[in-house]
Amino acid sequence: MRTRRSVRPLHALAGLLLATTVALAGCSGADDSAGGSSKANDEAAAADAGAAEAGVAEGGKQGAGASGSKPSAAPKLPVNRIIRTATLTVQVKDVPKALDEARAATENAGGYVGDETTTRDEEGAEHTRVVLRVPVEKYDDVLAGLQGAGKLLERTAKAQDVTDQVVDVESRITSQRASVARIRELMDQATKLSDVVTLEGELSRREADLEALLAQQASLKDRTSMATITLTLSEKPVVKKPKEDEEPGFLDALAGGWDALVTLLRWIAVVFGAVLPFAAVALVLLLVWLRLLRGRRRTTPGEAEEDSNAARP
């Protein structure tokens, strides 16, 4: 009887321990699964957040690249897309000295001297006209220096925008080069002599067009990179002709009338010179005719007297 009572408590204790172990194992498994799922969710959330931040950063960069760092700043045309020209007339005391100074200023700026013409008027005053080519970066400085060489009488400055023309020429050059390349590829694939001859003629024509475009591009580059200044140096003021919109005065009318009279006399002299040879020939013929007529008049009375004497008995 005692043995049975001692065995039952042992079985009950063993069952209690097993139940406790199973319960603990279930709790730990639940905790592990909950922890794993929460960790996975955290990693996914972190990945999503990182992707969102990367997308925002990339979108910000693209937006910044599209709008620019300074959206309010207006775009400026490049300097080499504008042709700059100027014309100056300056009165100086010594024309050769002022010309040497203008040459030195041009060469120091990296430019060169073009055409040059020097003349003297009836009073011996010297006038020099010279064309200067200077880089556009030094254009304003050189122009200001030339104006200060003496008394400025006249100034004209022009700026011609040829940006569209330059872009058009560059686009046409690109297209023409591609066209030449296609013709050469077709020549490599051609097998008939007639096709080769036709393609050679087409290639020559397109290469000539390409050379013309390249020459035009070089001319535009030269005119946009080098400004042109036409300088006139004079020892005395230049007499300006009246403009068309100005009303003529008494002196203008007097000068016009004198010019008309001189022109008329000149034309009369020209006509007289043209008629003079014919008049001389006509005068000689008239003198010969008068001489013959006088001879006939002298012989006619003598013949009449002889006839009257012969008629007498």
Report the CATH number at residue 110.
Answer: 3.30.70
In a domain, 103, yes or no: yes
Classify residue 260: in a domain, yes or no. no
pLDDT of 55-69, one tens digit each? Answer: 434 444 344 444 444
pLDDT digits (tens, 9 = 90+) for 115-174: 888 888 777 788 899 999 999 999 999 999 998 888 888 899 999 999 889 999 999 999
Residue 181 counted as domain residue: yes
CB contact set of 117 (below 8 Å; sequence gap of 6+): 128, 129, 130
89 membership: H or E segment, kind and range? strand 82-91
H helices, E strands: number in the chain = 6, 5
Tally of domains within the chain: 3
Confidence of residue 1 (pLDDT cuts 50, 70, 90): very low
Indicate if the pLDDT at residue 276 is higher than 60.
Answer: yes
Q: Is residue 90 part of a domain?
A: yes
For residue 144, give every residue at least 6 positions away whose Cβ sits within 8 Å of its Cβ, in sequence order, or none.
none
Given 199, 221, 243, the domain boundary residue is 221
Is 276 part of any domain?
A: no
Does residue 87 fall inside a structural domain? Answer: yes
Report pLDDT for 279. Answer: 85
Of the residues 161, 186, 206, which one is the last residue of a structural domain?
161
- Mapping DSSP to helix (H, G, I), strand (E, B) and coil, where does residue 113 land? strand
Widest CA span in the chain: 240
Q: Which domain holds residue 43?
A: 1-49
Q: State if pTM tops 0.95.
A: no
pLDDT exceeds 50 at position 306: yes
Together in a domain, 12 and 44: yes
Express each pLDDT in 234-250 by its tens digit: 886 545 555 555 566 77
Q: Please give the average per-residue pLDDT across 277-294, as a whole number.
A: 86
More confident residue, 110 or 125: 110
What tens digit of pLDDT does each residue of 2-56 get? 444 444 444 444 555 544 554 444 444 444 444 444 443 444 444 444 433 434 3
| 171 and 126 within one domain | no
**Last residue within a domain, chosen from 161, 180, 204:** 161
Q: Please spell the DSSP secondary structure of 51-73, one letter per residue.
A: HHHHHHHHHHHHHHHHH-S-TTS
- Contact of 166 with 220, CB cutoff 8 Å: yes
